Structure 1
Amino acid sequence: MSLQKAKEKLPGFMLLLLLTCTAPLAIGATTPATRNVCNTPACITLAHMLHNYHDPSVDPCDNFHQFACGREHEHETEDIYTKKTKTINNIMKRFLKKNETSRSKSENAMRTLYKACKTLEKNSTASRNKALQDIFQDIQSIGAWPVVDDKWDESKFDLNDFLVNLVRLGRKNFGLFQMARYVNVRNFAIGPEAAWRHNVDLGKTISEILKANSVQTNNKKLLDDLAEYVNLEKALSQHKFNTVQPGYIFSERSDFVSSVNFSRLVLEMMSPDKRTLFPEVYQIMYLTNTSLFFGKNNNLETIIRNTSKRALANYLIFKFIDTSIADLTYGSPSAFCEQKVINFLPRAALRAFYRNFISKENRKKITKLTEATQVQLLKIIGATDWMSIKSKKIAMDRVSSMNMVIGYPDYFDPPGKLDGLFEHLNLSSSDTYYTVVRKINRFMREQEMDYYTGEVPYYPLFPGLMTNAMYNANDNNLMIFAPFFDDPFFDSSFPDYANIAFTSNTLAHEMGHTFSPHLMDIMTGTTEVWLTPKETEEYEKRVKCLEDQYTEYDDPEYGRIAKSCIV
């Protein structure tokens, strides 16, 4: 009987009873079962992206990559990491443009740098002229400059005084050599210059500085001085920088460059109230094993002795000018100022990004995923059948004791902890961009020294807003940078397999560095002996097998392009 006929024959209350009884059945029959589907905005965005990327015309059994990602190029004009960098720049730009006063000294330093940079962008001619005047003033603090001093007396030239005065201006790369941390270890190494600029407009820049300061000079002598500078640059650039060169403990080889008082330079880099800690730095100072120091001919000591004092004085000042101008011009115009803030104040930028824009739920989830990866690595080591129990224990102890820094170091988390480090950085709203950068450079030298002495556990120049993870061998730290577990790579609402797909390869790769049998073959030239010769041979055989899998792989789209050396 139809419902319509029932209406005609049944009294009203009977009809109501019937509807009351049958309605739940009808509803139950049409309500679908609950599905385990993620409906968050992040999941919907990811599903939309993956749907657009896949190529349904391809059989996944024939070419799974083409099936899953074959149409990505139709929707993306740049890789996901480049897009993330631009997103970070935009986020930081909005943050820095806020016209508000903060109680945080690190945030105020960031905004002062940003505003000075924007002033340079808006009024580049006037700002550049003021910078040229500031540069000339700093040159005068370095020492007498032969180019502008007709009565320059070489007997009054002291190489180490010049170098110390450059350190006071925040320099650690002098052209003759540089002083820096080499690779991911806690050392303070002295080596060749890492990057040579060869500024073809240096003569023009010097002329601009002289003009901006109403200084007259002998043009012929200037050209001769520049020619000497170029020749000295060529001689020094023959000595190559290499981050993995074994080195020598400085205290055992300091006599190889007797003309330079390196210890005095290091002391000058330290904050005045921390100089009693100099012995802590001295014991981790190295001379890199390069021809610059240990070559038979044309080494640094020979170059210094064979070069006139006038040429040395000019060289150091010309180099200072070259790098100072680089600070004013380097960078992409579209993101120049925000990128400068990120580069010059990485700790402060990371603090602002992490506290204001990172999901704490994401941090919890990436922590669990990282810990799970660590457990799996321990299982893999434990299950090996070619290592002795002793070797397994050494490897597993290192993996299990690894310290994980997820997004932001807990050391800096207490209120005021990071800002306390900025007490010695005094920036003024009236400072030009050049002056702000110079003050920050000096500040960062002191921060580096605090790291070398062990006062602060994390290197101050780590690029904290990099979309990556990094293993620090010396400190046994795995650092997972905040952008790595942020949109679009990671979200706490993603199914586990999605987060694993985006991040696990990088996590496993970096964590795998703890297992390297040559972990300490970085600066001292000594290898950490924990694998027996037989085990090492088997390890190398397995590494070669893995390399060959990639080297011999014939990619259907790109061909044989993988190189075993970068696998």
Structure 2
Amino acid sequence: MEIRNKLRNPLIAVILILLIAIIAILATVGIWKFRSKPAERVIVQKEYLKSEQEPRDVCESPECITLAHQLLNWRDKNVDPCDNFYRASCGNYIEHNMVDGTRNTKKGRVVKRLIKEFLVQNHTSESKSEYTMKLLYQKCEALRNQTIFELTHDSTMKEVLNEILSLGPWPMIDKKWKASKFDLNAMLSNMAKLGHLDFGLFEVQLLHGKVLGVNVNYESVHNGEHKMHEIISAILTANNIIFNSTKIDKSITEVYEFYEELKKNNTRFDKLREFAPNIQFEKILKNLIHPQTGDWTKLKSKIEHGDKIFNRFNGNKDVKNETLSRILSNWLVLKFIENSYSTISWKASVAHDRACDDVVFHTLPRATLRAFVRNHFDRKNLKIVSEMLEETRKTYLEIIANTTWLSDEGKRRASLKMSTMKKLIGYPEEYDEEGKLDSTFGTLHVTESDSLYSIMKKIKRYRTELLMDFVAFELSLDPTRELMEVNAFYASYMNQMSIMIPFIDQPNMDPSFPAYAKYALTGNILGHEMGHSIDPAGIEWNEEGHYEKWMPKEDVKLYEERIQCLRDQYDNYDDPDFGKNLDSSRVINEIVADRHGIDATFHTYRRLNITNDPKMIGFEDVPSERMIYHVMALDYCAPRSVSTLEYTLQHTNHPTNSFRVNGIFSNLKSFAEAFNCPVGSPMNPEKKCELLVEK
């Protein structure tokens, strides 16, 4: 009864009506939202419809998407490929890139960034090579701090002086120095013990093949008397040695005047023998090998003309002339300092300006290679590239066999050289074993207490021992080679192809790439480098890496006529940067290798007859034999050259990027067919330069 009375209250009735209305509105909205949601059956229907669609025959990996981006955005669609394929492919490159240079230039910088990131990471490792890399980097970076530089400067200069004095008495600072104290062979031996290869009087170098040369060459330019005076002053001041600046300058000048006099009368060993007839080369060079693991007998046999040189300096006459003794003693010390410029931080600006990641990169190439491979490299690429090389080799052998102008003997020798060519894909296969590459650091011992100078000194000695072992035991990994270049090399003196790890990584190689992209990017370089084995220089080195003009004379004459066509083409090429002012004399070997390489690349891809190659996004309707040229051109896209014509002609060993596309491609019948270029158009001239492959 009480509730009924309350309901008769008008205010309560209004509230109830409003409440019922709100509930009704909320219910209506809820029903509307529910009905507006995709029903589960729709999702099932979508999945069903998706399964009914034909799969896209398009490469959609991130790597392929990046490649498609470059193909689509670097090109200039307003240019007819038959008029100027370089501009058609690369006309808008500069709008999408901040890097001066090509894709490989950018890759080189990326590799350095990745290594630097690894160096700054704060984590411990049991790897000796990683420990050495990081310690070297940390010590180098620490010296860029002014406070640390000042705290360690004097102790480092004392290390340097101790090493100088370990060579022998130094007349520049020894007031009691006498000629009787001078022992030329002892000083040279002590330099060898420190790992030095440039002794001032002579130099030890890696020559063709795995052969050492002992060379006398006084043509190099010394680095300036002022710089040398500055370093010596810093060393002596830090060691509290009182010195007369005028006398130091006089001694430095005396050495360099003697050196300049030698340059005027440079008769190689004759002049050296005249004033130093008793250089005990064998005794000196033995100190370059590791005392436990080195093998002098094997190394000695690999020194070019070793016995002849050693016997030539077997006189009993020592250097006794006081002036000459003083000059030679000072010269060896100055040469030691010159050899150590990169390691001596004699002033703060030297330490501050030092790029520490570059120091690691170039000083420890094997350790850098190991770090990159372990952290950033897809090892599947090694097998892919090795197989591509073998397929390209087969194509070359077919091309040589089908060439009409080569004689039977010419074909036999060219085929022999190509079939026996050795290959180094990234690094020797034995180093793929876990810990193998790291084991090569077994003789290098660095500690936290070492200064940067001390670490660099130890690395110099370690690298010299590696070089001696490389020659003596005929090892496969050249310690003088930059292992992290984005490049590939052919060495005539070894008849060997070497493809560096960064080159067979992104952007040149990825397992997901269509075959035409793999051959256009990596395969073309393989073909190019293999082509060097039969370029004008390559035909003077035989299959064993020995100097021999193996191509029959009548074949050479015919070959030179064909090469002359390429010379004329380059000399008359209207380059967008340099006009018709190019000179083929310095670049002809590269032009010939380009011409051979592109023939081998295209014919290899065509011979494989791949029918299921996926397409690239944006090029779904473009035939593969056209795509191979689109992709190939990307490697030569670059901003316009800022070098002068004079510099280019004197210092560049490669043809211009524009010619490597327009000039080389215009000789290809396959290119003209792929793009339907009319006969007589710039990219399909009536006259084409042919080498081994003919129409």
User: What SS is found at the alignment partner of 1:258?
Assistant: coil
Q: Which residue of 2 aligns with 1:282?
A: 300
Which residue identity is paired with 1:204? E
Are residue 130 (structure 1) and residue 155 (structure 2) matched?
A: yes
> In the TM superposition, what is the alpha-carbon distance from 1:417 to its structure 2 partner?
2.6
Match of 1:534 among 550, 554, 564: 554
Q: Say whether the 8 Å CA contact 2:539–2:550 is kept in structure 1.
A: no
> Share of identical aligned residues, percent?
34
Q: Which residue of 2 aligns with 1:221?
A: 247
Q: Say whether the 8 Å CA contact 2:139–2:451 is kept in structure 1.
A: yes
> In the TM superposition, what is the alpha-carbon distance from 1:429 to its structure 2 partner?
1.0
Q: Which residue of 1 aligns with 2:230?
A: 204
Q: Say whether the 8 Å CA contact 1:89–1:335 is kept in structure 2.
A: no
Q: Say whether the 8 Å CA contact 1:517–1:529 is kept in structure 2.
A: no
Q: Which residue of 1 aligns with 2:185?
A: 160
Match of 1:482 among 488, 494, 501: 501
Alignment of structure 1 residues 65-144 onto 2, 5 Å: 65-77=86-98, 78-79=100-101, 80-122=103-145, 123-144=148-169
Distance 1:364 1:206, change over 3 A: same
> In the TM superposition, what is the alpha-carbon distance from 1:363 to its structure 2 partner?
2.4
Partners of 2:166 and 2:368 lie apart in 1 by: 31
Q: Which residue of 2 aligns with 1:311?
A: 327
Which residue identity is paired with 1:309? S
Q: Which residue of 2 aligns with 1:467?
A: 486
Q: Which residue of 2 aligns with 1:350?
A: 369
Match of 1:51 among 65, 68, 72: 72
Are residue 324 (structure 1) and residue 340 (structure 2) matched?
A: yes
Distance 1:74 1:333, change over 3 A: farther
- TM-score under structure 1 normalisation? 0.83
Partners of 1:26 and 1:464 lie apart in 2 by: 50
Are residue 440 (structure 1) and residue 465 (structure 2) matched?
A: no
Which residue identity is paired with 2:514? P
Partners of 1:530 and 1:449 lie apart in 2 by: 31
> Which deviates further from its counterpart, 342-351 or 32-41?
32-41
| RMSD of aligned Cα (Å) | 3.5
CA deviations on 1:206-254 (whole Å, 9 max, x unpaired) are 111100000112333212101112213434556899xxxxx9xx9xx99
Match of 2:405 among 373, 381, 386: 386
- TM-score under structure 2 normalisation? 0.69
| Unpaired segments ≥5 residues, structure 1 | 1-19, 242-246, 289-293, 295-300
Which residue identity is paired with 1:474? Y
User: What SS is found at the alignment partner of 1:393?
Assistant: helix
Q: Which residue of 1 aligns with 2:471?
A: 452
Partners of 1:401 and 1:522 lie apart in 2 by: 13
Q: Say whether the 8 Å CA contact 1:135–1:324 is kept in structure 2.
A: no
User: What SS is found at the alignment partner of 1:404?
Assistant: strand
User: What SS is found at the alignment partner of 2:482?
Assistant: coil
Q: Say whether the 8 Å CA contact 2:63–2:512 is kept in structure 1.
A: yes
Q: Say whether the 8 Å CA contact 2:540–2:550 is kept in structure 1.
A: no
> Which deviates further from its counterpart, 140-149 or 554-563?
554-563
Q: Say whether the 8 Å CA contact 1:451–1:459 is kept in structure 2.
A: yes
Structure (1 or 2) with the larger CA radius of gyration: 2
> Which deviates further from its counterpart, 468-477 or 479-488?
468-477
Match of 2:172 among 147, 151, 155: 147
Partners of 1:129 and 1:238 lie apart in 2 by: 40
User: What SS is found at the alignment partner of 1:189?
Assistant: strand
Q: Which residue of 1 aligns with 2:654?
A: none
Q: Say whether the 8 Å CA contact 1:188–1:284 is kept in structure 2.
A: yes
> Which deviates further from its counterpart, 229-238 or 386-395?
229-238
Q: Say whether the 8 Å CA contact 1:521–1:527 is kept in structure 2.
A: yes
> In the TM superposition, what is the alpha-carbon distance from 1:547 to its structure 2 partner?
2.4
Partners of 2:262 and 2:368 lie apart in 1 by: 36
Partners of 1:225 and 1:254 lie apart in 2 by: 21
Are residue 190 (structure 1) and residue 214 (structure 2) matched?
A: yes
> In the TM superposition, what is the alpha-carbon distance from 1:520 to its structure 2 partner?
8.6
Partners of 2:266 and 2:88 lie apart in 1 by: 46
User: What SS is found at the alignment partner of 2:413?
Assistant: helix
User: What SS is found at the alignment partner of 1:325?
Assistant: coil
Q: Which residue of 1 aligns with 2:205?
A: 180
> Which deviates further from its counterpart, 190-199 or 208-217?
190-199
Partners of 1:99 and 1:24 lie apart in 2 by: 52
> In the TM superposition, what is the alpha-carbon distance from 1:32 to its structure 2 partner?
5.5
Partners of 2:457 and 2:106 lie apart in 1 by: 31
Partners of 2:289 and 2:219 lie apart in 1 by: 23
Which residue identity is paired with 1:61? C
Partners of 1:130 and 1:355 lie apart in 2 by: 37
User: What SS is found at the alignment partner of 1:554?
Assistant: coil
Alignment of structure 1 residues 351-370 onto 2, 5 Å: 351-370=370-389
Q: Say whether the 8 Å CA contact 1:551–1:562 is kept in structure 2.
A: yes
Number of aligned residue pairs: 523
User: What SS is found at the alignment partner of 2:340?
Assistant: helix
Q: Say whether the 8 Å CA contact 1:373–1:507 is kept in structure 2.
A: yes
Q: Which residue of 2 aligns with 1:298?
A: none
